[in-house]
Amino acid sequence: MKIIFVRALIVCGCVTSVKANDVCLNETEYDFYMLGNLVKDVEKRIQSLRENVKEVIKTRCPDSSCGDEWVSFNNSCYFFENIKSATFEEARASIITQYCKQKAANLLYVEDDTENSFIVKMLGRFKSNNNWLNGLTDQSTEGNWKWIDTNVPARFIKWAPNEPQGRTRENCVAYIGTNYYRWHDITCSSKCPFICKKRKISLNVE
Ligand SMILES: *[C@@H]1O[C@H](CO)[C@@H](O)[C@H](O)[C@H]1NC(C)=O
Ligand SMILES: *[C@@H]1O[C@H](CO)[C@@H](O)[C@H](O)[C@H]1NC(C)=O
């Protein structure tokens, strides 16, 4: 389509005011010419719609680049709540709702070693040697570790040496400050600061 149009123009050398009965273009060529213009208009309109969508996302989702209090890593954003502490039970019932869910996020779940190393590095910055809750639990079935939010078995787990050892007594998991923030099972009533995690919103609307 485009090729015929270009050739027609080159042959005739008349770029402006092409008419249906113009000697330069026969009917078929003229149809292609008009179709080409139409396609260009549609392309322009699509481009402008794309820009609009990007603007709307930026306006309605100001956290799309994580936001001020969030730390960005890979495709996710992390909020380190070190002032408020939660027990696992509270996390399940209300703290998540109040803090993480309000921020459109979840209690931390960990997907791979790279992510875990990032978390450990971040916790080291607080220099408090606190224990930090993560969302892993085997409360429903001993030894069956699941993420609280998805309730699916965890594919990535990284216990400290000799952990877990609490069996049915310790059904929750924390990063232990005095052990290089390695994972220990702990009692679910332990009070710990916690981390919210949310996915970044993609601005790629291609
Ligand atoms: C118009 O010209 C093209 C060549 O540029 C030709 O292939 C086509 O058959 C012509 N169509 C008509 C209706 O004459
Ligand atoms: C990090 O990003 C890559 C590529 O986008 C993705 O495949 C991987 O699952 C991500 N890892 C985490 C922990 O989000």
pLDDT in tens, 105-114: 889 999 999 9
Sorted by sequence, the CB contacts under 8 Å of residue 75 that are 6+ apart come out as 199, 200
| Tokens, residue 35 | 């179709």
Cα separation, 150 vs 106, whole angstroms: 9
Would you say residue 179 has pLDDT above 90? yes
Q: Which of 14-18, 156-160, 163-167 has maximum average pLDDT?
A: 156-160
Q: Tell me how long the chain is.
A: 206
At residue 8, φ and ψ (nearest 5 deg) are: -60, -45
Compute the average pLDDT of residues 41-57.
89
Q: If you measure from the C-alpha of residue 11 to the centroid of ligand 1, how many angstroms do you get, rounded to a whole number?
A: 13
Least confident of 105-109, 119-123, 124-128, 162-166: 124-128
Q: If you measure from the C-alpha of residue 27 to the centroid of ligand 2, how many angstroms do you get, rounded to a whole number?
A: 54
* pTM given for the model: 0.63
Q: If you measure from the C-alpha of residue 11 to the centroid of ligand 2, how many angstroms do you get, rounded to a whole number?
A: 54
Cα separation, 140 vs 57, whole angstroms: 39
For residue 106, the cross-strand partners are 197
Which numbered ligand comes closest to the C-alpha of 12? 1
Kindly state the DSSP code that residue 58 receives in the 8-state scheme.
H
Place of tokens 């001993």: 142
For ligand 2, which residues put their CB under 6 angstroms from it?
74-76, 111-112, 115
Which atom of ligand 1 is nearest the CA belonging to 29? Answer: 1
- Which amino acid residue places its CA nearest to atom 1 of ligand 1? 26
Q: Please say whether the dihedral angle defined by the alpha carbons of residues 142, 143, 144 and 147, taken in this order, is positive or negative.
A: positive
For ligand 1, which residues put their CB under 6 angstroms from it?
4, 26-29
Pair type for strands 106-107 and 71-73: unpaired
